[in-house]
Structure formats: C-alpha cells, structure tokens
Amino acid sequence: MLGSRLLEAENDVLLERLSEIVGPANILALSGDMAAYTEDWTGKYRGEALAVVRPASTAEVTEVVAACAASGVAIVPQGGRTGLCGGGVPVPGKPSVILSLTRMTKIRSLDAAGRTVVAEAGVVLETLQAEVAKSGLAFPLSFGAKGSCTIGGNLATNAGGSNVVRYGNTRELCLGIEAVLPDGSVINALTGLRKDNTGYDFKDLLIGAEGTLGVITAAVFKLFPEPTARATAFLSVASLDQAIEVLNKVQDRTGGAVEAFEYMSQPAIDVICRAFPDIRPPLEGTVETGVLLEVASIRPADGRVLQDGSIGLQNDLMEILAELMEAEFIVDAMLAQSERQRGELWRMRESVLESITANGPAHILDISLPLANVATFVTEMDQEAHSLGFQPLTIGHLGDGNLHYALAAAPSYDWSGLPLETAKEVAFALLTRLNGSFSAEHGIGQSKLPVMTKLKEPAQLAAMRAIKTALDPNNIMNPGKLIPLK
C-alpha cells in the first residue's frame, strides 16, 4: 500500500515534468481523455497509460524520452492509430506513457529540383501527398488508411500499400531520418543524400522497428514527377500463375509502368458489393482471378490525346490487353474510360477491409510469397480452409507476392466454433514450405508475437534481442512489441 503510494508520488513528479515540457494543454492523464489513445483501430488492443503526451518538436521529444527514461517509465510512440497489430498501444504490466506525434505536423522543406521533402512524423500521409502535389510532384505511398495514418507510423511499420510494385515500401521511399534514441540522444540524418556510406545503416534499422529502438521524429522522402497519363483496368485472368505472366508482359511492354497490380478474388468482390450496394462489380459473371491494373507514365508522349479522343497510354494498354486476351491469358477486361470509372475501381479496392469487417468476424493473414509460389499457396490453402469450415476472402498486392488472406466463416458455419488456430497452423506450415513470410506489410506489434516466436530463425531472434538490449538496455521503448519475450 505504501509502495503503491510511493509509486503514485513518483508518477506525479514525472507527470509534472512532462507537463512542463509539452505544456499542460498537451498532456492528458484522465482515463476519459485518454480513451481515444489507449485503443487502436481494430478495437482488439487496449492498454493503460499514465498519460498521453503530445510534444510539438524534436527537442520536446528528447526531453520527454529523457524524463521517462530517468523514471523507468516506458514510452509508446503513436501516430494515427491505424495499425492492425496492436503496435501503438501500451501492453499490460509496464507503466507507460503514450508519446503521440500528432502535433509534429511541419513539412520542413521541399526541394523541387532535388525531388525530396522533409516532413515531421505526425504529418498525415494524405496531407503530405496533397502538399507535394502543389509542386507538381508526387509522393507515391498510398493505401486505405491514408487519411488518418501518419508518416511516422508508416516508417515505424515500413508500410506497403498498392504502389509498392513500382516505388517500393516506405523504406525505399525514405532517404534519411531524424530520431530520438532511448537514451535521449538524437540521430540527425536529413540531408537527403542518395549516396552516404558512413557506417551502419540506422535509417533502415529504425524503419520497421515499430518504435522499439527509438522515436522517428522526421524523415526525408524521395519525390517523383506527377504522371501525365494513367490507364486503369479490371481484368479477369485465367489463373494466378497466368496473372504473373500478365504482370511481366505489361511491365515489359510499358517499360515498367505498372503502378498497381491488385488481386481480388470473387468471394472478396461479393463481400464488398454486399457491404456497399452502390459498388457494382466491374465485370459480368464470375471472375476467375480478378486484377485491378494501373499503369502510369510521365512521358509527354504517353499523355497525348489521339484523334479519337483517347489518351496515348490508355490506347497502348488497350492494345496490350487485346493481345493478352487473344493469347488467352486474360478472360475478360474493363478499361476505365473516365476518372470517375477509375475512382470506382479504386473505391472497390479500398473498401475491402471495411467490407470484410462488416461481413462478420474474420482473421486476416498478411503474408507474402515468392511470385512463383502464390498460386500453389492459394490453391492448397483454399482447399484446407473450406474443409475446416472457413470461407477465404482473399485480396492482395499480387505484384509484390503479398496476400491479405482473410479467413471468414463459410455460410452455415458459426465463427465461434471454427478451428482458427488449426487453420493458422496450416497456413504457416504452407508458408514455411513455400518460402513465404507470416508478416508482409502490417508488422508484428503484439498480435504476431506468438507466430514470430515459432517461425523466426533463432539466429535472427537472438541478434534482434542483442541489438535491442544494446540500444535500449532498460526496455523502455515500446516494450512488448515486435520482440518476443524469451
């Protein structure tokens, strides 16, 4: 009792110090005020916090980290709370402060000739896209949560999305970071150099580390010219294997212009159309292997308007698709004829997560495979899933071998009685056999720690622990995430 009172007193001292650093308006310590911060988007993860602090600058972050470190209180860095694995909320048993980066929203500089931008961690992805567009440039990272996720969270989880096939993950888009380490020291590497071989690669070590090695406070990103032309189509391809042939052929014919190559299975399309009755399926009848394909080009020649009013790139894509239909790779295709039709295709793609959620309980695997093994996985796993009473609702960023394989209850089955653990084990065994990964782009957080413990190479787990202990000996940076307890 006395111990707990002493602890409370110590916590009061810490909260007072934090309040001095960020100002009383930017610290929340009442559970009602904190409610929005202690639970994430999924609703599955909720954690207690001593306080939520919202610093406005890197200097304030440094002081917050130093104060928490001195008190032995954990720090949970948090962005837009759109993560799917519970990485952004505290775990039980460790007194924690949530460090919300949402007030660090400056775009510090934009170099149009050098094609780079420096943005703070709390900038919302869609805001960054919009700001950059004002200079005629594009920041290509994009996915459903773009309106609320922050670039700090994108970096911490190495977020992927729909354009990775062309531009890479967040990692590949980032040229350098500013970060506060667990000891309160600051790494300042925002020069935006394309080449800089001066020691270990901290940028890439912190990207994808889910806040366990430090707090990323700002980053410099590559920018790209805004495409002058786009062409978007929805395809029914004969099989997943043939889809990969289609991808390679379209890449070669367009000079690598594919910006999105998104797989959608018929059951997933059905679920979307049920959840959003105004979304109509783009093709008549049942789709074999649905693919949302988008190509984009900055070449003025590709943006030229032809005599019949069509755009050069769209015309080229139509020709390529016609040839692929002739060769029986593609069964049916619909080319978006207007920006509105393109918007409808993308709205369908981006509604999938909400639609699956609306459909009922489901477990979504975020997995990846070598392209050559995607079809084998889907065929074998679908069979197993059906036999266990599940209905797979699969979509994926097929160009990257990344599937979001959702296990829902098959009609007439009750979710609560289904053997989810068995199904997951079957999936993971298949992934292991086919050189796949149990976590492609959503990260580990809390939710995938058990599978991480089981499937990650012991040598890598040991090396991860060694690095974590070296940089964060007191385990105050986002404890209980990413690294399994021994």
Identify residues 247-266 at the interface with a second copy (CB under 8 A). 248, 251-257
Which of 400, 407, 409, 423 forms a contact with a second copy (CB under 8 A)?
400
Residue 316 C-beta: closest distance to a second copy, Å: 8
The C-alpha atoms of residue 39 and residue 27 are separated, in whole angstroms, by 17
Q: Which is nearer to a second copy, 157 or 217 (CB)?
A: 157
Q: Which member of 114, 360, 419, 450 binds a second copy (CB under 8 A)?
A: 114
Which one-letter amino acid corresponds to residue 51?
Answer: A
Q: Is 467 in the site for a second copy (CB under 8 A)?
A: yes
With both helix axes pointing from N to C terminus, report the angle between 352-359 and 339-350 in degrees, rounded to the nearest 10: 40
Structure-token match 């459903």, residue found: 144
Restricting to residues 446-465, name those near a second copy by CB under 8 A: 452, 456-464
Instruction: Write phi, then psi, for 234 (nearest 5 degrees).
Output: -115, 125
The least distance separating a second copy from the CB of residue 116, rounded to whole angstroms, comes to 8
Burial of 147 (0-12, 13-18, 19+ CB in 10 A): exposed
Kindly give the residue spans of alpha helices, DSSP state H, lying in 411-473. 420-433, 449-455, 458-471
**Both structure tokens of 255:** 């000079």
26 forms part of the interface with a second copy (CB under 8 A): no
Based on CB atoms, which residue is closest to a second copy, 285 or 473? Answer: 473
Taking the least distance from each CB to a second copy, the nearer of 186 and 334 is 186
Amino acid letter for position 245 = E
Say if residues 377 and 436 touch (Cβ distance below 8 Å): yes
CB of 342 to a second copy, least distance (A): 20
Q: Among residues 442, 447, 477, 479, which is the contact residue for a second copy, using CB under 8 A? A: 442
Do residues 42 and 121 make contact, with C-beta atoms less than 8 angstroms apart?
no
How many residues of this chain interact with a second copy, rule: CB under 8 A? 90
Residues 215-254, interacting with a second copy (CB under 8 A) = 225, 244-245, 248, 251-254
319 binds a second copy per the rule CB under 8 A: no
Binding map of a second copy across residues 165-184, x = CB under 8 A, - = no contact: x---x-xx--------x---
- Whether 58 contacts 218, CB under 8 Å: yes
For residue 114, report the phi and psi dihedrals to the nearest 5 degrees.
-80, -10
Cβ-based nearer residue to a second copy, 60 or 316: 316
Which tokens in the block code for residue 237?
């391809």
Taking phi first (over 0 means left), then psi (-120 to 50 degrees means alpha), and beta for anything else, what does residue 354 get? alpha
CB of residue 15 vs a second copy: minimum separation in angstroms?
27
Residue type, 130: A
Is there a contact between 373 and 435 (Cβ–Cβ < 8 Å)? Answer: yes
Q: How far is the CB of 70 from a second copy (least distance, A)?
A: 18
**From the CB of 157, what's the least distance to a second copy, in Å?**
7
Q: Is residue 158 a contact residue for a second copy (CB under 8 A)?
A: yes
Q: How far apart are CA 49 and CA 75, in angstroms?
A: 10
Please select the residue that binds a second copy; options are 72, 147, 360, 370, rule is CB under 8 A. 370
Stretch that binds a second copy, among 295-303, 384-392, 408-416, 421-429 (CB under 8 A): 295-303
